[in-house]
Each structure stands twice: as structure tokens, then as C-alpha cells.
Chain A
Amino acid sequence: MKEARGTVFKFGDNVDTDVIIPARYLNTTDHAELAAHCMEDIDKSFIKNVKKGDIIVANKNFGCGSSREHAPIAIKAAGVSCVIAETFARIFYRNSINIGLPIVECEEAAKEINAGDIVKIDFDTGVIVDETTGKYYQGQAFPPFMQKIIDCEGLVNYINAK
């Protein structure tokens, strides 16, 4: 995937993996079932309203807490095409790259983009465009090593290709 475009769902600081996918649903590994409860404990209407290609924008330390890969899996399976945040918690960051969920760190974009805006991200250049406000932002590019994992759509394919 070279770019993403969708409607923004906005969240604040320290969105933890317990609200992204509560532990009461961790008795399954089924992606669709996990997606059905994505963000349930922070925004019950999220899963009803999110459409394929939509984008999550959040402030700092997104994905803090547990190492559950079920969290980025739930977000990806819910149809979200990219998460933009000021910063990500480190295990969530690794997990997202490893499963092929595009994530971008950009403080300015995370602060300024509003819920409901239409946003486009070019993954090659890291450029984020808020089509609603007309503003451009430069997201942080991945180091080449991580870009290779992303290009392979995850760690397993990357290792198999080596």
C-alpha cells in the first residue's frame, strides 16, 4: 500500500491497549471478532462508524500498556488504513510494523488534525495532507530496515524473503 485516504477518528494521550482491545476478548485470535470490539472501552460507537480506509489520529504514547498484538490486529481488521500519533508506545510500534499496519509519527499533524477531516498519507514520502483544512505535514520516515519489513507487509514475509 503506497497511500491511505480516509476520515479521521481522533483520540487523546496514552490510548492504552486495554481500551483498544479489552482483555475480556483476548480468549480469541480471530481477527474479525477482535475488530468487532476495537476501541470498545474508549468509544463504543467507533466500530459502528469506522469504514474501510479510515484513519486514527491520536496524541502521545498511543498503544501503551500490554504487548498484545491483538491491538494493532483489531485496528487493522476494523479497516483502519493508518494511525498517526505524536508518539507510539514501543511495543505497539514494533507490533504494527511486524503485522503491516501503517503508522506515522508526526507531532504537528497529531495536534492539528480534527475528527472528521479527510486525510491522505503518502507512505513513500511521509507527506500527510489534511484535505479538509488544506494543510500539509511531513511525517517521520522509517529507517530503511523497517521500510523493508513494511514493504514485505510484515516480519514473517521479510524473514522468508531473506
Chain B
Amino acid sequence: MAGMTMSQKILAAHAGLSEVKAGQLIEADLDLVLGNDITSPVAIKEMEKFNSKGVFNKDKIALVPDHFVPNKDIKSAENCKCVREFAKRNSITNYFEVGQMGIEHALLPEKGLTVPGDLIIGADSHTCTYGALGAFSTGVGSTDMAAGMATGKAWFKVPSAIKFNLTGKLNEYVSGKDVILHIIGMIGVDGALYKSMEFTGEGVKELSMDDRFTIANMAIEAGGKNGIFPVDEKAIEYLKEHAPNKEYKIFEADPDAVYDEEYTIDLSTLKSTVAFPHLPENTHTFDEIDDIKIDQVVIGSCTNGRIDDIRMAAKILKGRKVAEGIRCIIIPATQAIYLQAMEEGLLKTFVEAGAVVSTPTCGPCLGGYMGILASGERCVSTTNRNFVGRMGATDSEIYLASPAVAAASAVTGKLSQPSEL
């Protein structure tokens, strides 16, 4: 029997099996089940249909209202009420009310709820983010979430994997966002369909944890089932700070693990990368970009709303002004990040530059609220999807980019990289 990938080893351990192979269907025990204010109400309705009532473990469920909160309208308020009352009824430990909440995929690692070796499902496609910490985590729908909450189990088809061997070190102003956009541009939006994306190599240690969260976060944008990183000293340092009392198990891929494909990427060769409308695979670097005038900039989301991202935006906006007529919206992803940004003086920098700073919310990323685009408008956004109508009108346009590119674009009023300032 061939060796197993890192993802396969975590799945085998949670299915009580000594080995699994790609394509095998397994039932596995879950360490955490996650839902938000959009997906949980559907799951809660489904829960009522189960013969057995209640949840499998009140400590292993996380409910994070983050998409349309603070409530954007009456219907959203009703959905949040449904989630809040469910959490109360079932004594859910990890329910995060407005004031404590943040964007789920920034919040849960920060709260120490996602650790190496965990098997996590979440009714949100970007649940794959926690692979940055060496967990197997994947997005599911509301019915899977309901079944997970009721039984503590989920079914999985064991994925095969693509290996990304990272070497070298990123240049200044090039970040995890550019790495993952480069990869999606290379393999396409279904390049990793049903598969794990396993990142490895000497280059990993050069990536900050926030870069790794961004990369794992967008595995789904290549169709991936999960993205996963090895657990190194940087990850262990992060865990000491955020999950000091939680036990975890570090899994490593077998040396003879089999991969469907292998790519080697020299990080030092990567440039600022932008995904043009209307697919994340439509990537371009600035040597092939003409003047593209914009109307709005969004810096935030589960992809790029962490402190590294906010600091990068501030570094570029410090002492500069948002160009006339441009709306620049900055959304620190959690309350802790917001507070840190405040203490470091970053929020002052933003306001002085003419940007607005919002409470944590997914809002504009999915066209919910807090920055919807009108017909024909263009936005440079650090979010994760640029599908038709994603942020507003069906003929508006989203250019996905790093916080450095987004901030530089806010200053010039056109799609720009920091070196143009």
C-alpha cells in the first residue's frame, strides 16, 4: 500500500482506520462543526427532522453570525434570532454575538478553536482556511452541518491530492494572496476539483501565518476539498498564543505518499497578481495590465482581513490620500484585530487618508451590504470571488488582489501596484 497524504492521515485517524485510499467512502468523527447566519438557519430547520433531538457536543459547535450582521434588514435579524435562540436552547459554548464576533475564518483560529490534526466541517465554503494550522477542514452545506451537529459525524470521499512544493521567499509587497491567485491562474477554478491541495517545501517557513490562512482560504477557488500546510515552528508559536491549553496532534504526509500532480513554485519569482472579472482564474500581473479606472476598494474578508493585511494597507495609506471619488472600505476581520489596529494607530491612518473603517462583517464580499456596486462600477477587492453580480449589479466588476495592491489602487484611483506610488 502506498503512503498517505497529510489529509488522508487525518481522515483515517478520525474514521478509526489504519489506512485509507483516494476514492474510499468513510464516516468520520468531527472535532468541530461550524455555521454562520446564512447557513445555520437552514441547518436548524433540518435539525427538527431528526429522530434524536439535541446536539452531539455543545463544546464542538461554533455559531458565528458574520455575513449580514449587525443585522442589515428584518429578514437577516430574524435569521440571527433563530441562530441565537438555537445556541441558547442547546447551551452552545462557542456562539459569538455582535461585539465578540468576527468573520468566522479569522475568528475561530484566533480563539484557539482550530488546531492541528482536527477534522472540521463548516457550512461555509471557506472553512478550508484552517488547513493553515494543519487541520483537515472543508466546507459543506446546511444539511451536512445539521447531521454533524446531531451526530458528530460526516461522510467523506477520501480525496487524492496535488502537491505544491514552495521554495524561496516572497519579495516586498508580494503576499499569500499573490501566491494563491498565481496558483489558481495556473490550474484553473476546477484545477483541484474534489482534491486536497497540500503545500510543502522550504518556502513554507518564509510565509507568515496570515499568508498561510489566505492561501488555504482560497483552496476552494480552485475547486479544492481542502488546503493544508505542515505544522512548523511558526504554527506552533501561533498555537502557543491562541490555543495554549488545547491538545493537538501533528500529522505529516508519508514520504511515499502519492500525488496526482506536483508543482514547484519559487516564491521569489512571484509578482503582484490580480484576478480580472469574472473568475478567480483570470489572473494578470502588472506588466500586462493597462489603465483600469476604479470606483471602490474593499480591504477585508475571511481572505484578507487579518492584522498583517490591515498593517499592509496602513503602510501604504500612511501620509497619503484616497483618490478623489474613490470609496475605500476597510474591514478588520475580528474585534481583536480591530482593537489591535486601533492600538497601533492604523485606524487613524485610514480615517486621515479618507477611508472608512467598518465593524467586522462579510458584507460587501458577497454583495450583502456595506459596499454594494452600482451598474458598471469597478472595485479592487481583497476578497475571494469575482463572479458576475457577486458584489452588486450584474454588470459591475471585481478585481481580486492583495491588500498592498488594493491600498495602492485606492490612492491612484486605478488598478495599481505599490511601486507606482
Asked if B223 and A64 sit within 8 Å, CB to CB, the answer is yes
Contacts A66-B366, A156-B49, A159-B50 given; does A14 touch B389 at CB 8 Å: no
Tell me, in angstroms, the Cα distance from A23 to B49 when the chains sit together: 26
Specify which chain A residues have a CB less than 8 angstroms from the CB of B385 in the assembled complex. 16, 18, 65-66
Stretch of A25-33, A75-83, A125-133 with 4 or more beta carbons under 8 angstroms from chain B = A25-33
CB distance from A36 to the nearest CB of B (A): 14
Asked if B46 and A70 sit within 8 Å, CB to CB, the answer is no
Specify which chain A residues have a CB less than 8 angstroms from the CB of B123 in the assembled complex. 67, 69
Asked if A18 and B193 sit within 8 Å, CB to CB, the answer is no
Specify which chain B residues have a CB less than 8 angstroms from the CB of A146 in the assembled complex. 25
CB distance from A4 to the nearest CB of B (A): 21
Q: Please tell me if A155 contacts chain B, counting CB pairs below 8 Å.
A: yes
CB distance from A47 to the nearest CB of B (A): 15
Asked if B389 and A28 sit within 8 Å, CB to CB, the answer is no
**Number of B positions contacting A (CB below 8 A):** 50
Asked if B141 and A156 sit within 8 Å, CB to CB, the answer is no
Identify the closest chain A residue to B191 (Cβ). Answer: A61
Q: Please tell me if B125 contacts chain A, counting CB pairs below 8 Å.
A: yes
Asked if B279 and A24 sit within 8 Å, CB to CB, the answer is no
Q: Which 8 A-B pairs have the closest CB atoms?
A: A95-B141, A27-B75, A69-B141, A98-B143, A61-B190, A23-B366, A41-B389, A67-B125
Interface residues of B (CB under 8 A from A): 25, 38-39, 41-42, 45-46, 49-51, 67-68, 72-73, 75-76, 79, 122-125, 127, 139-144, 146-147, 150-151, 155, 189-190, 193-194, 220, 223, 225, 279, 366-368, 385, 387-390, 394
Q: Mark A83-94, 1 if CB is under 8 A from B, else 0.
A: 000010111001
Tell me, in angstroms, the Cα distance from A29 to B144 when the chains sit together: 16
Tell me, in angstroms, the Cα distance from A65 to B278 when the chains sit together: 12
CB distance from B400 to the nearest CB of A (A): 13
Interface residues of A (CB under 8 A from B): 14, 16, 18-19, 22-24, 26-29, 41-42, 60-61, 64-70, 72-73, 87, 89-91, 94-95, 98-99, 143, 145-146, 154-157, 159-160
Tell me, in angstroms, the Cα distance from A154 to B142 when the chains sit together: 12
Asked if B144 and A155 sit within 8 Å, CB to CB, the answer is yes
Identify the closest chain A residue to B77 (Cβ). Answer: A27
CB distance from B167 to the nearest CB of A (A): 29
Asked if B189 and A23 sit within 8 Å, CB to CB, the answer is no
| 19 intermolecular pairs with C-beta atoms under 8 Å apart | A19-B388, A22-B389, A26-B38, A27-B73, A29-B45, A60-B190, A61-B190, A66-B366, A66-B385, A67-B39, A67-B139, A70-B38, A89-B190, A90-B225, A94-B144, A98-B141, A145-B155, A156-B46, A157-B49
